[in-house]
Amino acid sequence: MNILRAGVIGWPIEHSKSPLMHGYWLKKLGVRGEYVKIAAAPDAFEARVRELARDGWRGLNVTIPHKEAALRLADEASETALAIGAANTLVFQSDGKIHADNTDGFGFTENLIDRAGATWRRDQPAAIYGAGGAARAIIHALVGAGAAEVRLLNRTRSRAEDLANVFGPKVKTIEWGDDATALSGAGLIVNTTSLGMVGQPPLEIDFSIAPSHAVATDIVYTPLETPFLRDAARVGLAIVDGLGMLIHQGRPGFEAWFGKRPSADAALRELLLNS
């Protein structure tokens, strides 16, 4: 049997941890396959994807800045990818069609279930900081998971309002800085901004108003414990770091391309942390 091929395509792509992760799963699950980084500038993206599909590759993960273009070029798409308006996973089907999915929201909720499943009260309001692409995927997943209310805060309020309009009345915008309103009665508090990443200023929130059972989670995972998570832990909240979201978002693609179901085990976390 031929070797099964997949990869991650982006611009730039050097720093992607996905090859390490998929390589770990390929080895662990005994799949004869490979998963590589593919650099493609925006003007070369579509042609490169179609070339790989023609060459018999199984599919691709898609990262910045190509996620919207990936959805546009696909022949068919999941309801999730359509709702988010972007795709991070392409599957090249045996009938020649390209299928698009978005697994970022799945990765987010799976990570929460994995690391705080018993604590996370999914029917209670969620407070989301940031209104970029990641926030959009997360809000879609939270509404799907049964959140009654999503409170959205963004430095640029108009972006929060645009997102709220996409998802309807369950999503309410709150003034950036009004943590008291955002966190009152909240079951989940999420940083989707780039604040707290190595080299960036921290996201500083007054967690004191949050219920003691609330879970705080960050999509930033460099560093693993961001100032946001550290401050939340200091007042006794359960915290979930962002590394698991990276791991879980990769699982559906792996299964579609390579036919085996991978898991988020401790050794993989260690490998990614030490890379």
- Please list the active-site residues: 67
Residue least distant from ligand ATR (Cβ): 132
Q: Cβ of residue 68: shortest distance to ligand ATR, in angstroms? A: 10
The residue (of 73 and 137) whose beta carbon lies closer to ligand ATR is: 137
The residue (of 122 and 157) whose beta carbon lies closer to ligand ATR is: 157
List interacting residues with ligand ATR (CB under 6 A).
Answer: 130-135, 154-156, 159, 192-195
Give the tokens for residue 184.
């009152």
Token pair 């950036």 is at which residue?
176
Q: Cβ of residue 82: shortest distance to ligand ATR, in angstroms? A: 17
Q: Cβ of residue 131: shortest distance to ligand ATR, in angstroms? A: 5
Token pair 């720093």 is at which residue?
15
Q: Cβ of residue 9: shortest distance to ligand ATR, in angstroms? A: 16
Q: Return the exposure string of 94-107: e unless at least 16 CB atoms fall within 10 Å of the residue's CB, then b.
A: eeeebbbbbbbbbb
Give the tokens for residue 87.
């795709």
DSSP string, 25-50: HHHHTT--EEEEEEE--GGGHHHHHH
The residue (of 197 and 272) whose beta carbon lies closer to ligand ATR is: 197
The residue (of 34 and 161) whose beta carbon lies closer to ligand ATR is: 161
